[in-house]
Structure 1
């Protein structure tokens, strides 16, 4: 057994003087971690407790517009290539059938920032459509499902929505309104009716799944493989049925692929988050104790108990201070490590509806009137609870909210809040 030095002499592992070193090491570890290392690492890490917003609103807005322009150039080129492949009848592009498809992806769109902010047009629709075309093309060889891509125009001034005009030549487009609308209707009720219209139109294309994406939700590169894995493992349960033929498909009404990051922390009212934090603390705290005891400290009952408690608490605090959202990013290491949980309420930028679930939502949501402080997302949650529907959510997010200009609030918003 290895020995430790104490006062210039070799001593046994059970020496009380050596045991006195443990509290000092714990204090040093905590001090260096929470007062030095984490503040340096996390000061610019959004959703950590150390994050500081050092930039003013105008500077951050300019930064977001710059990122927006970069995405626009990149995805504009993808659309251009797709357009050329369609003109040349090329088979290299993604096969986007309006019939004989498994998943119908519909981008719900409305013009943004019309006659505001110096005429700057963010062109979210171009970015999202280009991104989806690129993802479908890059995964076409390995994809198990067939996809259809549609655009659903719910702008109440359709004749002046210039961004849509070149895209509707390429993709099937549904129009909620054919002419300018002058009717006075609550904007939250209009949003609900628009959503129902787009969902119904997608379901009419005879797809097994309707995937509704709002045009300010920018897809992550893992979207298609994670989507297919979610359908296989959590809706149709094909992975289970290979071993147990009696397992029936799960009755899922809808699946969310986005939830505001500010609501994804450990302390946010979702009951499963606290057990998750405790599990992280115990697992990594125990592992840390084993490593510490093996390489640094000799095994004694007193020392090990003290170190185990200190390490469990340490790991829990690190997770809490770094932030659950940032730790969840580690799950992107593989498609298999994405987490599927029950869905909380709020927000509908990216929703997958199995056919039966979609028709149920159309029927129930049509009977509800939305208004201020009772939007369609709140109505969806009330319907889910009232009728006992199953709703799931995939984490981490497969979409990034890029909507700096809100059509609902008629102004500029912080995209990290929604």
Structure 2
């Protein structure tokens, strides 16, 4: 046993004189990759250590997603029950700074066992938003785009608290909505138009399955005041379209087609390696070597290189979406990056941009076969709009049933 330790670590430096650099590096890698990361990352979906069986407790992904959704429904019902007498927000507001609009339709989903499930996203997302500190200059509107608005019972219930605008009459649509993709685009523009009637400076348009992250509105105010309107970034505030949710799968390390994002991600990895390597280098002597007068500075540098590589590999193993969560420690740590070409769950528009987008769509300058998210990306490039995103996300996507695609559509990563 002693001979094995001698051959591996060098016995001349083990014991009272401290550990050799080889032993220190082996101990570091074993501790990080075999003990710390497997324990901390077993429930992190994008980590290489993710264990679905342990995370879901033996349940199927769809059953687990419904369980989590049901818990949020109970919490939302309890919130409105406790606030029913006091939660009467103003229906009209003067000098509106921001309008927050929800595009919503009654969701219907089929379960694999043949039953039906009503996810009730709108109730959850509105409850989450109203628990935030809404400024008096913020107005909330719900856009009920169900062809028979009375069927959307949650929207009808919420009309007691908030402004609800229905696209169709209570007797149903005057004409068939056509292709679902066309209806989705028209519904989105309807809500954007309804929000603009209050003459706000900004419009935050949400899909009904976009759940606010606690404290996100405070972060959003900081981002608007200190990063967008002060002009510290290379775009004009009046030409800004900011996505507040991006799929976690698109936030991964090098899974982007945007060169600027890849470059930023490489800088993040480099920073993690330098910071982590420096901290481990500082800890090297007291932990592994002990107090020695004749330390070998060359071996010390070798340990720094090993520590740098260890931190970079650990960051890749954890995956960037989970590392971004550390930035929630302070609103000053949130970043604005070039946005990926996807998704409309939560987008912040400056008034001028919102008006230009509505005008361009109404003039038919966007190809009919474009879905709404592709159309927005097309217009952003055509009109010279700053197409950015805020990371980490200020909203989460809780949807497991798509109004555009029939049936059940579960993405477990959104429930991780």
Flag whether TM exceeds 0.5 (same fold): yes
8 Å Cα contact 1:188-1:370 kept in structure 2: no
Listed one character per residue, the Cα deviations across residues 132-151 of structure 1 (whole Å, up to 9, x for unaligned) are 1221xxx25xx5x6210110
Listed one character per residue, the Cα deviations across residues 37-82 of structure 1 (whole Å, up to 9, x for unaligned) are 3223322222211113225996332222222222222222333344
Q: Distance in 2 between matches of 1:218 and 1:107?
A: 11
Aligned pair partner of 2:162 in 171, 174, 194: 171
**Which stretch of structure 1 is more off in the superposition, 331-340 or 406-415?**
331-340
For residue 390 of structure 1, report the CA deviation from its aligned partner.
0.7
> Are 1:152 and 2:139 matched, yes or no?
no
Aligned pair partner of 2:265 in 263, 270, 273: 273
8 Å Cα contact 1:104-1:147 kept in structure 2: yes
Cα distance change, pair 41–177 in 1 and its aligned pair in 2 (3 A): same
User: 3-state DSSP class of the match of 2:40?
Assistant: helix
> Are 1:258 and 2:258 matched, yes or no?
no
Listed one character per residue, the Cα deviations across residues 79-135 of structure 1 (whole Å, up to 9, x for unaligned) are 33444126xxxxxx6556443221111111011116876332111111111221221
8 Å Cα contact 2:110-2:407 kept in structure 1: no
Q: Calculate the TM-score normalised by the size of structure 2.
A: 0.84
Structure 2 equivalent of residue 28 of structure 1? 27
Cα distance change, pair 391–6 in 1 and its aligned pair in 2 (3 A): same
Q: Calculate the TM-score normalised by the size of structure 1.
A: 0.83
Listed one character per residue, the Cα deviations across residues 337-379 of structure 1 (whole Å, up to 9, x for unaligned) are 22222222211111111111211222234421343xx422122
Q: Distance in 2 between matches of 1:9 and 1:202?
A: 72
8 Å Cα contact 1:253-1:358 kept in structure 2: no
Structure 2 equivalent of residue 404 of structure 1? 400
8 Å Cα contact 1:103-1:207 kept in structure 2: yes
Listed one character per residue, the Cα deviations across residues 218-269 of structure 1 (whole Å, up to 9, x for unaligned) are 111112201111110122228x7xxxxxx99634421111111121111212
Q: How does 1:213-362 map to 2 (within 5 A)?
A: 213-237=206-230, 250-269=237-256, 270-271=261-262, 272-293=264-285, 295-297=287-289, 299-362=295-358
**Which stretch of structure 1 is more off in the superposition, 275-284 or 59-68?**
59-68
Q: Distance in 2 between matches of 1:96 and 1:300?
A: 73
Structure 2 equivalent of residue 15 of structure 1? none
8 Å Cα contact 1:78-1:133 kept in structure 2: no
Q: Distance in 1 between matches of 2:105 and 2:401?
A: 11
Cα distance change, pair 236–51 in 1 and its aligned pair in 2 (3 A): same
For residue 305 of structure 1, report the CA deviation from its aligned partner.
2.5
Structure 2 equivalent of residue 120 of structure 1? 117
**Which stretch of structure 1 is more off in the superposition, 119-128 or 346-355?**
119-128
Structure 1 equivalent of residue 6 of structure 2? none
Aligned pair partner of 1:106 in 67, 86, 101: 101
Structure 1, unaligned runs of 5 or more: 12-17, 87-92, 241-246
Aligned pair partner of 2:188 in 195, 212, 219: 195
Cα distance change, pair 302–175 in 1 and its aligned pair in 2 (3 A): same
Cα distance change, pair 227–38 in 1 and its aligned pair in 2 (3 A): same
Listed one character per residue, the Cα deviations across residues 181-227 of structure 1 (whole Å, up to 9, x for unaligned) are 65362222221121111111101111111111111111111122011
Structure 1 equivalent of residue 8 of structure 2? none
Q: How does 1:134-149 map to 2 (within 5 A)?
A: 134-135=131-132, 139=133, 143=135, 146-149=137-140
For residue 293 of structure 1, report the CA deviation from its aligned partner.
4.1
Higher relative contact order (CA 8 A, sep 6+): 2
User: 3-state DSSP class of the match of 2:349?
Assistant: strand
Cα distance change, pair 362–267 in 1 and its aligned pair in 2 (3 A): same
8 Å Cα contact 2:150-2:156 kept in structure 1: no
8 Å Cα contact 1:252-1:354 kept in structure 2: yes
User: 3-state DSSP class of the match of 1:206?
Assistant: coil
User: 3-state DSSP class of the match of 1:266?
Assistant: coil
